[in-house]
Amino acid sequence: MSLDEYQKREFKQVGTRVRRPDGVDKVTGRAMYGADATAPGMLTGRILRSPHAHARIRSIDTKAAEALPGVKAVLTGADLPAQEDDFIRDVQDNCMARGKALYDGHAVAAVAAVDAATAKAALKLIKVDYEILPHVTEVDVAIKPGAPVVLAGRSLENVPAGMSENVTSHCEFGHGDPAKGFAKADRIVERSFRTAATHQGYIEPHACLASVSSDGKADLWCCTQGQYFVRTLCAAIMGMEASQLRVTASEIGGGFGGKTTVFIEPVALALSRKAGRPVKIVMTRDEVFRATGPTVHTSMDIKIGMAKDGRITGAEAHLRYSGGAFPCGTVDMGAQAAFAAYDLDNVRTYGWNVLTNRPKEAAYRAPGAPQAIYAVESVIDELCQDLGLDPIDVRLKNAAKKGTKSSYGPTFPDIGLVATLEAAKKHPHYSAPLAEGQGRGISCGFWFNFGGNSCVSLNINTDGTVGVTEGNPDIGGSRASISLMAAEELGIDYDRVRTIVADTSSLGYNDVTDGSRVTFAVGLATIKAARAAVRVMCERAAKIWGIDADAVEWKDGAAVPAGPNAGKFPPMSLAEIAAVSFETGGPIAGHHEVNVDGAGVSFGVHIVDVEVDKETGATKVLRYTVFQDAGKAVHPSYVEGQMQGGAVQGIGWALNEEYIYGADGRLQNPTFLDYRVPVASDLPMIDTVILEIPNPGHPYGVRGVGETGIVPPLAALSNAVSRSAGIRLSELPMSPPRVLKALGGS
């Protein structure tokens, strides 16, 4: 971990609430999203999907579809190459089934036709001969020996013998001896929990436009969180060299982790290659729900021992996660995050990943953490209730701090949990009176945050303006944050900087917009690119003044002599140096390429007041406050926005959202009518308190803020419901029927 980056400084622009550069385009309808692009001669692509949860594909007869006038290409799994690499093969097989359909909605064939009506008609002419196989959609059933096997031969060696072949991996973290810890406890609570799979629920369905030329070059326009990773996956599937495939990220209509992989992009490319024309595919909402990644569904056992004074003496978690029909590592993150907020002597977590006949999981905001932390924070709250202790005091007593050996291994540097808990405790919300029937819940949350590969080019234009080229789709205002950091470092106005997101041919590799990494890592690369440009500008001024470059420094947006010995020259501003750059050595630029370390973990605490309607089982959220350590908040409005948005996704997860499968293995609710995300009338204002504990790994002290906010709501809501209605639920969502059942009603 890089801990020497942060230098305390007074900010002039970072921390202000400037207008985002893409704002006007987005409020006027001008911004171009995935489905908004067209190309001359474009065809419409459509995908045929399995209606069965698990079926062997005996044959696919595409002759009639191919013969339909207006159909230009038909594709099945047989058209795609065999892949040796497990990971690439899984991605490809998820885009287009080969041999077996593994879940309701799994793609089995695709067509490209002159228009949507023809494409739709062609799909009806494709005859798939299925042999229906027994299916399994629930993790607790799939884990048992004798359960239908989703994919054979995928168990890693660390899976204990005697479990179903659906168990693909096992992990274990922790230190000390929980049994010894439990022996010291005054009270031990052991509970089992379940959480439903939820979908990221971005409002923009996946969309792409692919164009493959007969000379082998290809262009792909798509809504994605990472155009470079799309290129990696598509180039592997298409057997292309990376340089021949240019991927351009459109404006993106939400992702939350769900647009970090490919679903339709390789299909559109393969259809385009076959048809010799551009092909556009836009998913329907039904396809988004049935065939793109929701998060894992889980089953968990938690055991925590506590002394009378609130000290946790021992802690253990057994986590069983299922990310659908293909292996995934999400349970590892849950097992690492479960107890990360606490300084524990005896802690152990165990995780198992289990295959089920459901769509392949995709990342969802802090993947794996909300579920495990929901279970842990529920048990801690129950212990607080049993022992008559204040929930914040107990968390403060056990809170991880600088120097704590975390439950997943690393020792923490400066972290903000104690400050966050103290801010929550002294906030008026925590002491506000509650009416009869209302309940207040709190929960801590944790996320690792990530840095990763980042490239930034920063060009000084001759008119004194600056262009920043970066490679991460802007999902919530990151271009504004990056422009702010460039302006701060260069000492020029924010309005003089324009940041754009490059396509894959215009800049080196950038990791996906995920892991709350962009403002942190791309920001760091931007600051260093600006410093590189500043060095060049100082050299140019030195040349003009006829002094050593070492004798020039950068101050308030201008080159100045470093001291009295350097000579007396009036400051040369960035604009003045830029204006004569053609005479002093040519255009001026700075760039920086790095694999950033030192992301700095993030903690949050949420307080929520609810009232449970005992007639209907509905839970009304009355008041909500989010406390989060953001490091330096570069653009506070968008930091608040991440905290609010994460909290509300968590509220949806806690109260309503779930994938519901029927006995037939089909998804019962693939619409926004039946999969109910929170709407405006469900919610109060979401208050926010930003704590700025500088991250030692960033020049300005920035931490990632995007993901932590979804972690605490699940337990905060459950703990509040428990205190409002006197019932402790152990399953999410706490939908009205479940609450009514727990209340003993019908």
Note the residues at the interface with other proteins (CB under 8 A): 17, 19-20, 22-24, 26-33, 35-36, 117, 200-205, 251-256, 282, 284-285, 475-477, 635, 637-638, 640-641, 644-645, 647-649, 671-673, 677-681, 683, 685-686
The pair phi, psi for residue 411, each rounded to 5°, is -95, 130
Listing from the earlier edge strand, what are the strands of the sheet with 552-555?
A: 552-555, 558-561, 572-573
- Taking the complex as a whole, the smallest distance from the CB of residue 28 to other proteins amounts, in Å, to 6
The DSSP-derived string for 531-565 is HHHHHHHHHHHHHHHTS-GGGEEEETTEEEESSGG
Nearer to other proteins, 410 or 636 (CB): 636
Nearer to other proteins, 557 or 678 (CB): 678
Listed residue (426, 333, 399, 321) closest to 604, CA to CA: 399
Nearer to other proteins, 17 or 402 (CB): 17
- Taking the complex as a whole, the smallest distance from the CB of residue 115 to other proteins amounts, in Å, to 9
Instruction: Report the alpha-carbon distance of residue 222 to residue 249 in Å, rounded.
Output: 5
Nearer to other proteins, 123 or 579 (CB): 123
Nearer to other proteins, 19 or 555 (CB): 19
Sign of the CA dihedral running 612, 640, 371, 409 = negative
Nearer to other proteins, 429 or 728 (CB): 429
- Three-class HEC string of 345-358: CCEEEEEEEECCCC
- Taking the complex as a whole, the smallest distance from the CB of residue 161 to other proteins amounts, in Å, to 43
Nearer to other proteins, 248 or 581 (CB): 248
Distances (CA, A) of 108 to 47, 52, 436: 8, 11, 55
The DSSP-derived string for 11-56 is -SSTTS-PPPTTHHHHHHT-S-BGGG---TTPEEEEEEE-SSSSEE
Distances (CA, A) of 197 to 49, 68, 603, 701: 21, 40, 24, 35
H/E stretch holding 469 reads: strand 466-470
Q: Judge whether 231 and 245 are in contact, CB under 8 Å.
A: yes
- Indicate the SS3 state at residue 413: coil
- Taking the complex as a whole, the smallest distance from the CB of residue 496 to other proteins amounts, in Å, to 19
Q: Judge whether 514 and 451 are in contact, CB under 8 Å.
A: no
H/E stretch holding 290 reads: helix 285-291
Nearer to other proteins, 23 or 570 (CB): 23
- Taking the complex as a whole, the smallest distance from the CB of residue 297 to other proteins amounts, in Å, to 20
Nearer to other proteins, 303 or 635 (CB): 635
- Taking the complex as a whole, the smallest distance from the CB of residue 689 to other proteins amounts, in Å, to 14
- Running DSSP on this structure, what letter comes out for residue 301? E
Strands 55-61, 127-132: pairing is antiparallel
Instruction: Report the alpha-carbon distance of residue 244 to residue 220 in Å, rounded.
Output: 11
Q: Judge whether 39 and 286 are in contact, CB under 8 Å.
A: no
Bridge partners (DSSP) listed for residue 299: 194, 320
Instruction: Report the alpha-carbon distance of residue 53 to residue 134 in Å, rounded.
Output: 8
- Total length of the chain: 746
Nearer to other proteins, 35 or 53 (CB): 35
**Which two three-digit tokens encode residue 162?**
């005697």
- Taking the complex as a whole, the smallest distance from the CB of residue 30 to other proteins amounts, in Å, to 7
- Taking the complex as a whole, the smallest distance from the CB of residue 277 to other proteins amounts, in Å, to 17
Nearer to other proteins, 252 or 729 (CB): 252
Distances (CA, A) of 731 to 114, 299, 353, 544: 48, 9, 19, 71
Listed residue (352, 372, 374, 363) closest to 139, CA to CA: 352
Instruction: Report the alpha-carbon distance of residue 82 to residue 475 in Å, rounded.
Output: 34
H/E stretch holding 686 reads: strand 686-691
- Taking the complex as a whole, the smallest distance from the CB of residue 530 to other proteins amounts, in Å, to 24
Distances (CA, A) of 437 to 383, 651, 681, 735: 21, 19, 21, 18
Listed residue (144, 257, 140) closest to 195, CA to CA: 140
Nearer to other proteins, 364 or 430 (CB): 364
- Indicate the SS3 state at residue 34: helix
Cβ neighbors of 380 (< 8 A, separation 6 or more) are 304, 306, 312, 391, 394, 395
Nearer to other proteins, 29 or 563 (CB): 29
- Taking the complex as a whole, the smallest distance from the CB of residue 712 to other proteins amounts, in Å, to 14
**Which two three-digit tokens encode residue 21?**
């550069």
- Taking the complex as a whole, the smallest distance from the CB of residue 632 to other proteins amounts, in Å, to 17
Distances (CA, A) of 324 to 96, 480, 592: 15, 37, 39
- Taking the complex as a whole, the smallest distance from the CB of residue 647 to other proteins amounts, in Å, to 6
- Taking the complex as a whole, the smallest distance from the CB of residue 454 to other proteins amounts, in Å, to 21
Query: How many helices and strands in the chain, by DSSP H and E?
Result: 21, 27
Instruction: Report the alpha-carbon distance of residue 598 to residue 4 in Å, rounded.
Output: 9
Nearer to other proteins, 49 or 273 (CB): 49
- Running DSSP on this structure, what letter comes out for residue 739? H
Nearer to other proteins, 201 or 451 (CB): 201
Nearer to other proteins, 15 or 696 (CB): 15
Nearer to other proteins, 159 or 710 (CB): 710
- Taking the complex as a whole, the smallest distance from the CB of residue 278 to other proteins amounts, in Å, to 15
Listed residue (623, 587, 597, 617) closest to 744, CA to CA: 617
- Taking the complex as a whole, the smallest distance from the CB of residue 685 to other proteins amounts, in Å, to 5
- Taking the complex as a whole, the smallest distance from the CB of residue 686 to other proteins amounts, in Å, to 5
Q: Judge whether 475 and 254 are in contact, CB under 8 Å.
A: yes
Nearer to other proteins, 51 or 253 (CB): 253
- Taking the complex as a whole, the smallest distance from the CB of residue 69 to other proteins amounts, in Å, to 15
The pair phi, psi for residue 614, each rounded to 5°, is -75, -15
- Taking the complex as a whole, the smallest distance from the CB of residue 485 to other proteins amounts, in Å, to 17
